[in-house]
Amino acid sequence: MELSAREYTVLAAAAGFCSVAGVGYLIQREYRRWRVLSAHMAQYYADFSLSPSQLMDLRNDFIEEARKGLRGEKSTCLMAPTMVDILPDGDEVGEYFALDIGGTNFRVIHVTLSMDKGEVVHVEMEDNAIPEEYFTCHGDMLFDLLASALVDFAKRHGRHSDDRPLPIGFCFSFPCTHTAIGEAVMVKLTKKFENEGMVGQDPAKGLQRALDRQKGNFKVAALINDSVGTLAGGCYVDADTKIGVILGTGTNACYAEQRSNIAALAKGRKNGREQQHPLMAINTEWGNFAAPSSPFTDIDRELDEETPNAGSHRFEKMVSGMYLGELARRAILRLAEQAQLFGPEVPPQLREPWALTSAALSKIDEDGSWLLSTTARELSETLGLPAALCTHTTCLRVKQVCHLVARRSAAVVAACLAGLLQQIDRDGAHTPMAPTTIAVDGGLFEHYQAYRAYLREYLDQMLGKQVSSLVKIVQIRDASSMGAAYLAAAIDEETQ
Ligand code: BGC
């Protein structure tokens, strides 16, 4: 069929119109998508970035909860007296064992402490991943796992005693209320643990029975929380250490409080140690802290409902390594569902709970490459997203989400630290500020450099540069397990 010149002109004009209209439609669609995405991001910025006044409110609420806990009133912070009223000072001598459990691994450790102050002659330690079934098995089975690992470790390293049982420090990272340093009742399970037969029982006895079953000649001398171990580990190397903090799978803090402020002790019988040891380590269990000023978002609420300990440890669920990646995944999934972050289809991999780890989140947040290639790699390697979906614009949004989630964690931790510093009169408000060290242990803090910088920045903001310059935040590697061994030593020396 032949077309006339006129028909050609009309057809060409129509085709031109259609392609202009098509391009116009695409531009309009992308613009609409960009607007929806920007509106969602603006909401995340509003929800996750906390203003100085919000952080002050949080700090004040934390102090109030902490004081209620100390007075023995209903509080979201357990503020458990740990019965630890002596802290190591580096003068401890001898050979000690420790067992440490609480996250995804457990550790067996043997230390030899020298006569020279603060010097550890020799350390042997072994980390073991906790097999999946041990997160849900009966408590006795979990204790058997620990006891047999210790007995086997001691044999392999030729350490045994035929007469006096070897004292061990047991670092057990869950909320407990103590009746003595080696005697406690477990309050609840946290993190991934769902074991029966543990809550309401004494973990020290549980481990001792398991050790006896294994014919191990050990005695559980001290049962301590990992935050207490970190405080002890810090004190061993730095006498200015006043607070021990865990920023790992979970989070917690411990500090030394005046006995006279601890109602639970005032009610109990006096044991004659009050004069000599006026302070006692308090396990705050701040992981459970919640108050009107807690900046919980819908995403926090959603995540909480799907954890085995729903309704509990909500501060921990905003802060710690177990949850940061999952919070970010949920925020990214919302962007995919409601603002087509990855295009019209939501990638199914994004719907997989816990698929984005906090290790991946930290790499994405710290991605300084021009084209965000690390972010693209993490998205395709960790989440399994097709590379074609990981465009620069998408990676940029993902990075912003990870950044916001991490910064909020550091901000709320800084607020509670400012609260604890005020409680121990180390915030420069009433007395001249003295050098103060905060000892920190845990993978989140250890492996995530940008996070450490955020924490410092928020603490400076809360305390003011001058006071804050006297507060050192120091990472003490293996502090909780080493601290358990030092405490076993300190207690052993006292009771000999
Ligand atoms: C536990 C604390 C522990 C913290 C860090 C929290 O879930 O309640 O006792 O210190 O995790 O391991």
Q: Using the predicted structure, report yes or no on whether residue 268 has a pLDDT greater than 90.
A: no
Domain presence at residue 159? yes
Residue 267: per-residue pLDDT: 61
Domain presence at residue 221? yes
Residue 496: per-residue pLDDT: 67
Domain presence at residue 43? no
Q: Whose CA is nearest to atom 6 of ligand 1?
A: 250
Domain presence at residue 228? yes
Q: Which domain holds residue 120?
A: 81-238+477-495
Residue 216: per-residue pLDDT: 86
pLDDT in tens, 96-154: 899 999 889 999 999 888 777 767 778 899 999 999 999 999 999 999 999 999 999 99
Instruction: For ligand 1, pick from 190, 318, 445 the residue to mutate: most ligand atoms within 8 Å of CB.
Output: 190
Domain presence at residue 29? no
Domain presence at residue 118? yes
Phi/psi for 59 (5° steps) reads -60, -45
Distance in Å, CA 209 to ligand 1 centroid: 24
Mean pLDDT across the chain = 91
Of 434 and 496, the one with more pLDDT: 434
283 and 82 Cβ atoms separated by less than 8 Å: yes
C-alpha span between 94 and 266 (Å, rounded): 35
Instruction: For ligand 1, pick from 76, 106, 225 the residue to mutate: most ligand atoms within 8 Å of CB.
Output: 225
Distance in Å, CA 411 to ligand 1 centroid: 19
CA dist 427 → 79, 256, 422 (Å): 20, 15, 5
In the predicted model, what is the mean pLDDT of residues 204-221?
94
Domain presence at residue 243? no
Of the listed ranges 167-176, 257-266, 387-396, the least confidently predicted one is 257-266
pLDDT in tens, 389-431: 999 999 999 999 999 999 999 999 999 999 999 999 999 889 8
Q: Whose CA is nearest to atom 1 of ligand 1?
A: 174
Residues lining ligand 1, Cβ inside 6 A: 102, 173-175, 190-191, 225-227, 246, 248, 250-252, 285, 287, 313, 316
Angle at 200 between CA 195 and CA 202, to 5 degrees: 90
Residue 16: per-residue pLDDT: 67
332 and 347 Cβ atoms separated by less than 8 Å: no
Q: Using the predicted structure, report yes or no on whether residue 73 has a pLDDT greater than 90.
A: yes
DSSP β-ladder status, 251-258 and 279-283: antiparallel
246 and 442 Cβ atoms separated by less than 8 Å: yes
303 and 326 Cβ atoms separated by less than 8 Å: yes
Number of domains in the chain: 1
Placement of tokens 């994004």 in the chain: 350
Residue 131's contacts (CB-CB under 8 Å, 6 or more residues apart) are: 145
Q: What is the CA radius of gyration of the chain?
A: 27
Q: Whose CA is nearest to atom 2 of ligand 1?
A: 174
What's the pTM value of the predicted model, to 2 decimals? 0.92
Residue 157: per-residue pLDDT: 80
C-alpha span between 224 and 105 (Å, rounded): 17
Label residue 486 by pLDDT band (50, 70, 90). confident
Q: Whose CA is nearest to atom 11 of ligand 1?
A: 250
Distance in Å, CA 356 to ligand 1 centroid: 22
Is 353 in a helix, a strand, or coil? coil
Q: Which CATH number fits the domain that encloses residue 221? A: 3.30.420.40
Domain presence at residue 51? no
